Chain A
């Protein structure tokens, strides 16, 4: 009875004590955070001790860079998945150091260089039989060739109406997320479906070229002459993102790929881009006479082995004509329920490609029977997107983008080819993206969510959905961290996302810029 009566009193005292302790602790914790914040505010060792002295000693030199660490971990280790032995957890343990320097020679004349080195620890820091690409392909683990280390190196000469950039460089055409008219450089696609627009800067394969732009009024005309070809680099067998839908070895005879030759004038590439601004509307057109970034296998003949007829296949990068357009328009809607004024931007982009060479499995089968065919078929392709970006209250941004890919005159026997539907006549990806900072963290913490569903027809239908969630935290003005979740759901094991159903992963990225 007395116990019963004393309970509220005890509870009250305990509550007060807990509150006092909580407040004291809250004070201590917030003071601790404050100490970290103040220490991190001035944490810039390379900027202070390397960059600043170098720039002081050589006033015409600009020097900057970053160190970045990416780690992605599979949520579950599945063992044998399709053709892939998924006996590993870490999809990447990549460490990238990049340095950018620019030397100002005289007004309008500069020399620019970007060098970087990357080490991926997935091959060394976990025990795995499924990951073995480092044994036959050094760059899977470490960039150790001059081609990879010297990323960009060009001389820029600028006059008010004219630019000329000569040397190794990368060009990003277009305004949209994803690649529609961004077709000049090859790309390192080792992360397959996890490669995103924000990574293109580090994954593009810069090329040696002459890049001239004329500016007149609200117009500009860019001309490219590219004498060095770089193809896309895909995930290879023994790499974490090698497609589980593809066998690790093949029985046919694969000959070395025939690449466009720098010494052959006929193998060079040419590009034109025209842009114009007209009030709230800006638009542009491009034409690119280049080569497909990934080779198409041609049948050169057959051979008999163990009673089997094998194809002799040679990959070739085909000549393509690309014609594209891009435009954007800004406006604001007034008196919109709940939000009041709604600022918006609409972007459109499209690319028509003529002469895309596809592997044709029917033709290959005929070749195996001795028919005189190279096992390929030519088609034209179209890819286009329309996106609407909304500026919402609460510093929230939302983007809805519909991306469409189509192979004209598609047949079921066609393999993959540039620009067309994903294993189908057409593919539609209605992407939704939302991003907002959190005011309670003084906008230091922000969240991004993106959903990429893939629909295609007439054959495959639902090819799965990718969901990406990202929490980004600004530690200081030099250091940033983020946590990322990527999930792949639905679709068949041979579909674009369906094949990666067991590749759900979480990761983090830490970067220090100086």
Chain B
């Protein structure tokens, strides 16, 4: 008997191997939640109301709800930005508004984005994007350097994937707004198949984009003066964006190099964040923002709850509630220090996951290959115009290999955290969605078949067999 035969004989038959794999997966699926649930329970109990906050945290918080207003801009606080501690809830809200989805400095990124439905239909895109600003970088530049009704930035997008939209381009020219000047953007699309630049009506702010979870405002950001801010308390976050156990590695574009990273090793605010707790958690303030009817009449996303890190006020998690109090969406983020020159203000969203609970849609947006840019005057004049799109010229391609290759490898739904801040949050979801959440948590990846006995195992087995 040769060695090949020995190997063949000692190996289990395909049927036995499948059976053993199924058992192992089943055991793993049963054992893992048991092992991790105890740890999760402890981690999920660290939230505190304002009354329960530590002395140290109390010292950082100013409970005042009415503070002097700015002489020139009557709807913003008089205290100079970025404020000094102790901070009012409103000031924390302003600080968190520094970190909108697209960083507030001139940059280049490749935005890798996508959505998955509960049946496993997946739709993704890859788009190279450049931005330039009209004023100084940061929220201060947005507030002070541009008058309401004037554009504060120009964002270009050049689609690279999927093949259907390859060559399609967009130009967004977002405006500084106030109560009188409500136009948010000038919006142009160059359609490669029509070979035309078409000006589009601006998207409705609280309406999600077609085939996506996120709304226009999730992308462009909301102005802090459009909301009433309240501090709910503190919490410790241990997880935000969650990779499935079917995706051990992800390739990121770091400084132009494609680097394969272990997904388990990716930290919530990157390796350069200096304030992780010894157990890996991040201390957060939890803020509630109620949209002001006088600023945004009829706005559907009535209440927002933010988990912002205590040191930079970076929003790591956000929940959106409807006027009737139903949970509409959960957004979670991974951040990186993308502009070290800006210090505390140099963090930016790297990976954002949006879970729309009305349709059970999970979207993501990954800002890969992100780097600050200094545009020459000539570039500023030429690149950021509608006519430039007709040239079909991607001046500086940025590569990414971060698309999700298979629905099984899509990001997990964010955690619901039942029990945290009762009365202020509503974590109940439709039973069929809860069943999918349970199946996902048991399997460690999204489960697309009907949740029930062995569903996760069956799908995991099918995935393993591929």
Contact = CB atoms under 8 A, between A and B. Distances in A.
- A interacts with B: yes
Interface of A: 27-28, 30-31, 33-34, 37-38, 40-42, 47, 64-66, 158, 160-161, 163, 170-172, 174-175, 197-198, 200-201, 213, 215, 217-218, 220, 275, 277, 280, 282, 328-332, 334-335, 340-341, 343-345, 347, 389-391, 393-395, 397, 437, 439, 442-444, 446, 474, 476-478, 480, 511, 513-514
B298 interface: yes
25 contacts: A30-B450, A31-B449, A37-B121, A37-B448, A38-B120, A38-B407, A66-B164, A160-B379, A198-B194, A200-B194, A215-B385, A215-B387, A215-B388, A330-B187, A340-B298, A345-B199, A347-B199, A395-B208, A395-B209, A437-B210, A439-B359, A477-B123, A478-B163, A480-B164, A511-B164
Given A343-B204, A442-B117, A174 B196 contact: yes
Nearest to A474: B123
B263 interface: no
Contact of A41 (B121, B297, B383): B121
A277 B164 contact: no
Contacts of A394: 207
Give the 5 A-B residue pairs with the shortest CB-CB distance, closest first. A391-B201, A343-B201, A172-B195, A38-B120, A513-B163
Interface string B239-269: 0000000000000000000000000000000
A282 B199 contact: yes
B207 A437 contact: no
A343 B387 contact: no
Given A37-B119, A66-B163, A330-B183, 7 more contacts: A38-B120, A161-B378, A215-B385, A275-B387, A328-B199, A395-B209, A513-B164
B385 A213 contact: no
A394 to B, nearest CB: 8
Contact of B381 (A217, A275, A480): A217
Interface residues of B, number: 58
Contacts of A340: 297-298
A391 B183 CA distance: 13
Contacts of A64: 163, 166
Contacts, number: 166
A15 B164 CA distance: 47
A214 to B, nearest CB: 11
B122 interface: yes
A397 B379 CA distance: 34
A64 to B, nearest CB: 5
Nearest to A46: B163
A459 to B, nearest CB: 34
Given A31-B450, A41-B121, A332 B202 contact: yes
Contacts of B382: 160-161, 215
Contacts of A30: 119, 450
B405 A42 contact: yes
Nearest to A65: B163
Nearest to B197: A175
A439 B211 CA distance: 9
The secondary structure that dominates the B interface is: loop
Contact of B408 (A38, A277, A511): A38
B178 to A, nearest CB: 13
B205 interface: yes
Contacts of A201: 193-195
Contacts of B115: 442
A47 B405 CA distance: 13
B186 interface: yes
Contacts of A341: 182, 204-205
Contacts of A345: 199-201
B151 to A, nearest CB: 8
B361 interface: yes
Nearest to B199: A328
A282 B386 contact: yes
**Most chain A beta-carbon neighbours within 10 Å: one of B120, B121, B379, B382:** B121
B91 to A, nearest CB: 29
Contacts of B361: 442
B393 interface: yes
Contacts of B120: 34, 37-38, 41
**Most chain B beta-carbon neighbours within 10 Å: one of A175, A344, A394:** A175
A341 B297 CA distance: 9
Interface in B77-110: none
Contacts of B208: 395
A38 B448 contact: yes
A395 B211 CA distance: 10
Interface in B283-341: 297-298
Contacts of B381: 215, 217
Nearest to A219: B387
A386 to B, nearest CB: 14
Interface in B202-256: 202-205, 207-211
Contacts of A171: 195
Contacts of A397: 201
Contacts of B408: 38
B430 interface: no
A334 B385 CA distance: 27
